[in-house]
Amino acid sequence: MRIGINGLLIGLCFAAGPLKAQRVFSGVYPHLAMYNKEGECGTGAVVPWAGKLWVITYGPHLPKGSSDKLYEISPSLTQTVRTESIGGTPANRMIHKESNQLFIGPYAIDGKGDVRVIPYTAMAGRHTGNARHLTDPAGKIYYGTMEEGFYEVDVKTLQPVMISEDGNTRKNSDLLPGAHGKGLYSGQGVMVYSNNGEQGPKALTDFDIESGSLSEWDGKNWKVVRRNQFVEVTGPGGINGNRNPATDPIWATGWDYKSVLLGVRDQGSWHFYRLPKASHSYDGAHGWNTEWPRIRDIGTTQKPDYLMTMHGMFWRFPGNFSSANTAGIRPRSAYLKVIGDYARWNEQLVFGCDDSAQKEFLNKRKAKGSIEGPGQSNSNLWFTSFDLPDQLGPATAEGAIWVKEEVKANTPSDPFLFAGWAHRSAWIQNNGTVPVQFTFETDKGNGSWVKTQTVTVSQGAAIPVLFPATMPGEWIRVRTNVATNATLQFYYAANDTRSTTPAAMFNGLSKVTGDAATQGLLYALGDDHRTLGLSTTAGYYELDEKMTLAKKEDAVTDQFIKSKFAIPEQAVIVEEASMLIVDDKGRRWRLPKGNEAFTGLQLRVCREVATERDLFNCQGTFYELPAENADGYAKIRPVSSHSFRIADYASYRGLLILTGIDAQVKGNDHLIYSNDGKAAVWAGVIDDLWKMGKPTGHGGPWKDTEVKNGTPSDPYLIGFYDDRSLKLSHAAKQPVVFTIEVDPVGTGEWMKYKTVTVKPGETFNHHFPAGIQARWIRFSSNGDCRATALLEYK
């Protein structure tokens, strides 16, 4: 049997006989977990080669090597740690067809699986990318580092020649603007390099400053193409290099604080497009929150199939994408895992993840209390079907073209992706001093733009624009008839077809209305124990790589977990109609309530279970919560709602572990019981949470609240919910005019949705159309009164 790997055929890679019986939970094999002794253990590259799967891990900033390893995995899922391992922070990989070698990290692996090493003493730096050589592609390849070190390496001798000194040792100024290099590729006579960050204290706190760059080198001189955060640089040839380097396109993905960016270089010129973001957890001007987004061919030689990962969304990417043919990009589904690389292997998809970082870096917040990270960094591979990228979270996403920007008259905006969603809308704010006509144009992917509609927005006003479901177009852009200052934000919603009933895989989790038979606090142990500690009222237990839960006599560790991982009190404030959060910047936010039985229970609210973002569990809803440096609660996203008394949750060996188990339930392979029957945990992956039930909730910012004239309520979450309705009333003796405003993305740009007059004794009832989408909603009145604004999400 032969397998196509990005257009290159390799030989037989299946072992004879059946796979060894290994425990697997939602596609994760615990015995394949990878550990290091650094502050982070991410998966840098995953490549099938020489009949095996080759994987490298990386630590956070280790240009001279580390405890990370090169792993060789057989078709029977036997993991071999290669003795040649020298670690570092590598994420580069390239198959060099002329020499029949895989270059991955600082290693060169031949067709027999023999490994050679390029020592860091000869080629220092955090290796981030490889590219085919511009003038001697058969004999040399390029290496690029995260600090703008560039080398050409002889593929036979592995002798590197420095082109530019790595920034960790360079004494002169930076070579290029930005920091934190990511992608490297070559073609059309240039080598293209991306970085996605910025240095300095503001980059550690402010997500919306100038950051990153995309640059190209012609063999002599560097040219900065665009000053934004960029990550992946590749082409149709993927990790093999483009088959026709002189003419094949080069693709680059990136972002700014407004939206995802996509660039294509063909015929010597760059063209740029914008796409919406499913998640803002990848934002941050420092660039640390992204790992390595990719575009990879996961198809076969006969039928290529390109999968793109970017800002928490799986995308279908057309292999023939160019400036002349831009049709075919489609959202597939949203995901929560942090993915560093992926490949097709053994007729499955294999994702290499960044699961559990010991340091947690800048991701601190008071809702987590004084909780520490895991004792030792670790990550794992995630094996899935080819259909999984279509089966996770709804593909709802949003993004902006302009945010409070000066707009020139009759100048078309950047193209913004338009095709692929059931409900599409835009919010326009005219901050200018005169009425402005905004004209929308669409393109079917061939560069032929057609006017579709024009709307007029008065000075200082905002309006929503709902696009018909039947409106054609791959891309959309807008122009104005006069110069103005404007905000234009697109919001695209998918139909959420999930039910409110949790999948059977969650059978055995204790109901919030019942008794939690087995609870406990979780901590992944350090010092190479590689076990998960569980502290319960029945004693102390440990979960090992075989997923055996056994009682241990270890009072010291038990007490350490009880003290360091205690659930903080009042992480959120429970009020009569909503959950109030005051974040670390003093900003106030309100979330819907769930089952009232949650009130008063001491349950874990916030914890990092995927690197550099948090999982937030509040009143029966799980949320994805970006780090504060990615704007935190302002960009929170509900994942699923439930009625389970989940006491604690943590990451372990690539798995999501939950406590709060009904000991009476049997027959669920996701449940693991101790031998004495007094302790239990649930094991799966974080993306299983999409199957727990679609987000629901009820409440509002006011309930018989004394409100002041013109003073807006706290923001209340409305985004990502399905069936939404509002009841608005007051106790005044005269009519009250209420203004309803929305913040589409969470940028603090409030736009008026409706103004309604409510008579005494009456209630204004409103069901939000599916096309009206925003992340936050708030209310204000034209007079002092006692008012109620309650929303229900079904």
Query: What SS3 state is found at 165?
Result: coil
Contact status, residue 372 vs residue 251, Cβ threshold 8 Å? no
Report the number of distinct structural domains present in the chain: 4
pLDDT at 17: 32
At CA 193, angle to CA 189 and CA 196, rounded to 5? Answer: 155
The verdict on 514 and 638 lying in the same domain is yes
CB count in 10 Å sphere of residue 696? 20
Q: Which residues contact 470 (CB under 8 A, 6 or more apart)?
A: none
The verdict on 552 and 510 lying in the same domain is yes
The verdict on 337 and 414 lying in the same domain is no
Look up residue 532 and give its amino acid: L
CA dist., res. 636 & res. 550, Å (int): 37
CA dist., res. 297 & res. 333, Å (int): 18
Does 498 map to a domain?
no
The verdict on 485 and 510 lying in the same domain is no
CA dist., res. 130 & res. 231, Å (int): 14
Q: Which residues contact 438 (CB under 8 A, 6 or more apart)?
A: 428, 454, 455, 456, 457, 478, 479, 480, 486, 488
Which of 338, 369, 390 is where one domain is finished?
390
CA dist., res. 782 & res. 534, Å (int): 55
Mean pLDDT of the region 584-599 = 96
pLDDT at 570: 84
Query: Which residues pair with residue 647 across a beta bridge?
Result: none
Residue 211's φ and ψ, nearest 5 degrees, are: -160, 145
Q: List pLDDT tens digits, range 166-200.
A: 999 987 778 999 999 999 999 999 999 999 999 99
Return the CATH number at 34: 2.130.10.10
pLDDT at 171: 79
Return the CATH number at 426: 2.60.120.230
Spell out a b/e string for 128-154, using b for 16 or more CB atoms within 10 Å of the CB, else e.
Answer: bbbbbbbeebebbbbbbbbbbbbbbbe
At CA 359, angle to CA 354 and CA 362, rounded to 5? Answer: 95
Q: List pLDDT tens digits, range 430-444.
A: 999 999 999 999 999
Candidates 317, 319, 305, 386; CA nearest to 350 is 386
Structure tokens belonging to residue 183? 């992608």
The verdict on 410 and 302 lying in the same domain is no
pLDDT at 20: 52
Does 261 map to a domain?
yes
Candidates 124, 5, 138; CA nearest to 65 is 124
Does 656 map to a domain?
yes
pLDDT at 19: 47
Q: What percent of the chain stands above pLDDT 70?
A: 97
Query: What SS3 state is found at 484?
Result: strand
pLDDT category, 451, cuts 50, 70, 90?
A: very high
Query: Which residues pair with residue 184 across a beta bridge?
Result: 193
Residue 633 buriedness (CB in 10 A; 0-12 / 13-18 / 19+): buried
The verdict on 438 and 533 lying in the same domain is no
Which of 363, 390, 417 is where one domain is finished?
390
Mean pLDDT of the region 712-725 = 97
**DSSP result, 1-43:** --EEETTEEE-----SSPPP----BTTB-GGG-EE-SSS--EE
Q: What percent of the chain stands above pLDDT 90?
A: 94
Does 734 map to a domain?
yes
In the predicted model, is pLDDT for residue 108 greater than 80?
yes
The verdict on 437 and 539 lying in the same domain is no
The verdict on 438 and 511 lying in the same domain is no
Contact status, residue 311 vs residue 278, Cβ threshold 8 Å? yes
Q: Which residues contact 210 (CB under 8 A, 6 or more apart)?
A: 198, 227
Structure tokens belonging to residue 628? 């504060």
Contact status, residue 82 vs residue 43, Cβ threshold 8 Å? no
CA dist., res. 578 & res. 788, Å (int): 12
Which of 692, 723, 753 is where one domain is finished?
692
H-type alpha helices, 323-470: none
CA dist., res. 291 & res. 342, Å (int): 13
CA dist., res. 276 & res. 416, Å (int): 8
In the predicted model, is pLDDT for residue 6 greater than 70?
no
**DSSP result, 573-589:** EE-SSSEEEE-TTS-EE
In the predicted model, is pLDDT for residue 9 greater than 90?
no
The verdict on 488 and 528 lying in the same domain is no
Look up residue 434 and give its amino acid: V
CA dist., res. 368 & res. 361, Å (int): 14
Mean pLDDT of the region 570-593 = 96
pTM for this predicted structure: 0.95
Does 499 map to a domain?
no
Contact status, residue 355 vs residue 651, Cβ threshold 8 Å? yes
The verdict on 220 and 297 lying in the same domain is yes
Does 513 map to a domain?
yes
Q: List pLDDT tens digits, range 471-517.
A: 999 999 999 999 999 999 999 999 999 999 999 999 999 999 987 67
Candidates 392, 603, 372, 631; CA nearest to 497 is 392
Query: What SS3 state is found at 634?
Result: helix
Beta strands across the sheet bearing 107-110: 93-96, 101-104, 107-110, 115-117
pLDDT category, 1, cuts 50, 70, 90?
A: very low
CB count in 10 Å sphere of residue 680? 26
Per the model's pLDDT, the better-predicted residue between 19 and 497 turns out to be 497
In the predicted model, is pLDDT for residue 51 greater than 50?
yes
Residue 531 per-residue DSSP state = -
Does 440 map to a domain?
yes
Per the model's pLDDT, the better-predicted residue between 6 and 48 turns out to be 48
Structure tokens belonging to residue 594? 């769930």
Where in the sequence is the domain holding 310, given as residue range(s)? 3-390
The verdict on 597 and 731 lying in the same domain is no
pLDDT at 3: 27
Per the model's pLDDT, the better-predicted residue between 570 and 383 turns out to be 383
- Helix/strand number for the chain, H first, E second: 1, 62
Query: Which residues pair with residue 215 across a beta bridge?
Result: 193, 224
Candidates 313, 352, 692; CA nearest to 507 is 692
Does 563 map to a domain?
yes
pLDDT category, 18, cuts 50, 70, 90?
A: very low
Q: List pLDDT tens digits, range 648-686.
A: 999 999 999 999 999 888 899 999 999 999 999 999 999
CA dist., res. 646 & res. 604, Å (int): 8
Q: Which residues contact 172 (CB under 8 A, 6 or more apart)?
A: none
Query: What SS3 state is found at 430?
Result: strand
The verdict on 161 and 257 lying in the same domain is yes
Q: List pLDDT tens digits, range 753-790.
A: 999 999 999 999 999 999 999 999 999 999 999 999 99
CA dist., res. 170 & res. 181, Å (int): 15
Q: What is the mean pLDDT of the chain?
A: 95
Sequence-distant contacts of 596-604: CB under 8 A, at least 24 apart: 597/512, 597/513, 597/643, 598/512, 599/574, 601/512, 601/645, 602/567, 602/569, 603/567, 603/645, 603/646, 603/647, 603/648, 603/660, 604/567, 604/646, 604/647, 604/648, 604/649
- E-state strands within 311-394: 313-317, 330-334, 339-345, 348-353, 378-379, 381-384
